[in-house]
Amino acid sequence: MSRKFQVKSVPSTWLENNGRRLDCGPYLSGAIEARELLRKLPAEKTRLANLTVGIFHAGRESRQWVEAEEFGVRFMGSTDVLAADLSGLPLISKKQVRANPNFTIRAGWTLITRSGTIGRMAYARSDMNGVACSEHVMRVAPDEQKIKPGYLYAYLNSRFGVPLVVSGTYGAIIQHIEPHHISDLPVPRLGELEEHVHSLIEYAAEKRVAANNLIDTAIANMATAAGLPELPASDGVPFGFNAVSSARLVHRMDGAFHSHHHDEAVSLLKEAKAPPTSISKMCRSVVEPNRFKRILIDDPTFGVPLFGTSALMWADPKPSYLIPKNMTGIDGLLVGRSTVLVPRSGQIAGIIGTPVLPYGELIGGAVSEDAIRINCPDENVAGYVFVALKSEYGRRQLKARAYGSSIPHLDVNQIKSVQVPNLGTQLIEEIGSLGVQSAKLRHEAITCENQARELVENAIEAGRH
C-alpha cells in the first residue's frame, strides 16, 4: 500500500462484516475486496490450515553462530529468502538446529516474511532444502496429498492472496503477523489449472537453481584455467593480523586492506599461470552516477522503474517507484546487458561489493547512484567480469578495499584496480557466456513465475462473472 494520502468509499456492509473495524488499513489494502470476491466465487474454497501439514515459524531464541561448515548449517534471514544467490550465508550451530527442527526449510514450502516488511514471499527451491531460517519468516508447509505446492504459493503470492495475508498485521511500530492470522484464509480450488500452475512454479525454481550452478561452474572453470587454488568462502574480512612494509602504508593504513585475507587472494593471482589484469583494462568505463533528486510519478507510460541496491539481490527484483523518462541525466542511470552493477556502500558482511549481472526488470530500468556501473564492451565480457568478481578472489578484494568505519564505501578507483585472471579472448568468451546464461535463466524464471500468478488471477477474475 502506498504511503501517499488515499481516499476510498466503502459499503457499510464491509464494516458490519469486519467487526465494525474503523481503521483504514484493511479497506485500502485490497483485503476486503479480495475476500468479498472470493466469497462470491462459485469454485470450492478450502481453509488454508486444512491444506497444510503446518503453518509455523522457528520461535524466538538466541543464535549460536559457528565458523566451520562441519559444525554449522547455512542460515537465512528474512531478506535472504528473497535472494537469487544463497552463497555466503552465515552458519548456525547444527546442535541448535537439531534441538529445534522448526529452523529447517524444506523445498516446496511457501515462505512469508512476518515482521517489518510483511507479506514478501518466496517458494523454497531445492537449494534451500535443509537450510535453517529466521523466526521472522513464516513457513506454510503444504499437504501434497491435498494441494500442489506451486499452486498454493502462486495463489498466496497473487493480488488476491497477498492482501489477505497482510490484513492480519498487528503492531504500531514494528508490525508482525502470526500463523493463526492466516490459518482461515480461503483457498479457491481451480481443478486442472492447479497442476499447470504448479509446473510453472517448479520450472521457475529449477531455473534459479540451474543459474546458481552455472555461476559455480563458471567460477571453477576460471580457477582451473588460471591455475588458481580454491579459497575458503567468507562473508567479510575476518579478524587476523599481518606484517607489511611501511612503504605500503603511504596510501592506505586500514587493516582490512593490508590483511592476510586480502593479500592471499592478490598474491595467488600474481603467481597464477595466467597473469592478472585489472578491471579498468577489461571494461570501457567504471562509473559512479551523481546523486539526483527523486521525482516520483505514477504513470508507467512516462516513467522508468528505479531500483535500489537491495532489490538487485532479489530473485525477482522489484522497483522502489517510477521516475520520469525525460529526467535530466536519466541515461546515466539506465542499465543494459553489458553492465555489471556493484553496490558501493553497506556493512562489509552485507551486500557491498556483491556484483550483479542484470536480469528481469533491471534490464532497461534505472538503478540508484548507490550502485557503481562497470560498463563492458559486450555481454560476454560483462559475464566474465561478473564471474571473476563473484569468485572468492574478487569478493576478498572488493570487501577489503572498502573504506570508512561506520558505513564502508567503495569508489570507482578501488573497483578499477581489482585484479582478475587474464585468460585470453576465447576463454573469457566461454566463461563469460556461462555468466550471461545464468542471468538469462534468472530472467526466464521470473517470466514463468509471473505467468503462473497471472493464470491464477485470471481464473479467479473469470470465475466471478
Predicted pLDDT of residue 291: 87
Which residues on neighbouring strands pair with residue 286, listed in sequence order?
374
Q: What is the reported pLDDT for 37?
A: 81
Mean pLDDT of 324-340: 93
Rg (Cα) of the chain, in Å, rounded? 24
Question: In the predicted model, is pLDDT for residue 174 greater than 90?
Answer: no
Percent of residues, the chain, with pLDDT higher than 70: 90
| 86 touches 74 (CB < 8 A) | yes
pLDDT at site 422: 95
| Cross-strand pairs, 372 | 342
What is the pLDDT at residue 406? 79
Overall average pLDDT of the 220-242 stretch: 83
pLDDT computed for residue 245 by the predictor: 72
- Here the cell at position 189 is 480450488
Asked whether the predicted pLDDT for residue 14 surpasses 90, the reply is no
Asked whether residue 31 carries a pLDDT value surpassing 80, the answer given is no
pLDDT-derived band at 380 (thresholds 50, 70, 90) equals very high
Give residue 29's pLDDT: 61
- Mean pLDDT over 444-457 rounds to 97
Average pLDDT score over residue span 152-157: 97
CA distance 152 to 267: 51
Choice between 439 and 33, residue whose per-residue pLDDT is larger: 439
Highest mean pLDDT pick, 16-25, 199-208, 243-252: 199-208
Q: Output the pLDDT for position 201.
A: 98
Please report which confidence band the pLDDT of residue 270 belongs to, taking 50, 70 and 90 as the band edges.
Answer: very high
- Which grid cell is 362? 533491471
pLDDT at 115: 82
pLDDT value at 445 more than 70: yes
> Does the structure show a pLDDT above 60 at 154?
yes
Residue 171 confidence (pLDDT): 52
pLDDT category, 226, cuts 50, 70, 90?
Answer: very high
Residues 277, 315: Cα–Cα separation, whole Å = 31
pLDDT of residue 405: 75
**Farthest CA pair distance, the chain:** 79
Give the pLDDT confidence of 131-144 residue by residue, as tens digits.
Answer: 999 999 999 999 99
Task: Record the pTM.
Answer: 0.90
> Does residue 293 or residue 421 have the better pLDDT?
421
According to the 3-state scheme, what is the secondary structure of the chain?
A: CCCCCCCCCCCHHHHHHCCCCCCCHHHHHCHHHHHHHHHHCCCCEEEHHHHEEEEECCCCCCCCEECCHHHEEEEECCCHHHECCCCCCCEEEHHHHHHCHHHECCCCCEEEECECCCCCEEECCHHHCCCEECCCEEEEEECCCCCCHHHHHHHHCCCCHHHHHHCCCECCCCCECCHHHCCCCEEECCCCHHHHHHHHHHHHHHHHHHHHHHHHHHHHHHHHHHCCCCCCCCCCCCCCCCCCCHHHHCCCCCCCCCCHHHHHHHHHHHHCCCCEEEHHHHCCEEECCCCCCCCCECCCCCEEEEECCCHHHECCCCCCEEEECCCCCHHHCECCCCEEEEECECCCCCCCCCCECCCHHHCCCEECCCEEEEECCCHHHHHHHHHHHHCHHHHHHHHHHCECCCCCECCHHHHHCCEEECCCHHHHHHHHHHHHHHHHHHHHHHHHHHHHHHHHHHHHHHHCC
Instruction: Provide mean pLDDT across the span 179-184.
Output: 91
* Band (465; pLDDT cuts 50, 70, 90): very low
Mean pLDDT of 101-127: 94
pLDDT in tens, 386-440: 999 999 999 999 998 888 877 889 999 999 999 999 999 999 999 999 999 999 9
Tell me the average pLDDT across 273-292. Answer: 93
Q: Report the pLDDT value the prediction gives residue 314, as an integer from 0 to 100.
A: 95
Per the prediction, the chain carries an average pLDDT of 89
pLDDT for 5 beyond 70: no
pLDDT tens-digit readout, 253-262: 676 776 778 8
Residue 1: pLDDT over 60: no
Say whether pLDDT at 120 is over 50: yes
| Cell numbers representing residue 315 in the block | 530473485
In terms of Cβ atoms closer than 10 Å to its own Cβ (0-12, 13-18, 19+), residue 65 is exposed
Question: Which residues face 297 on adjacent strands?
Answer: 322
In 3D space, the residue among 409, 402, 119, 133 whose CA is nearest the CA of residue 257 turns out to be 402
pLDDT at 2: 44
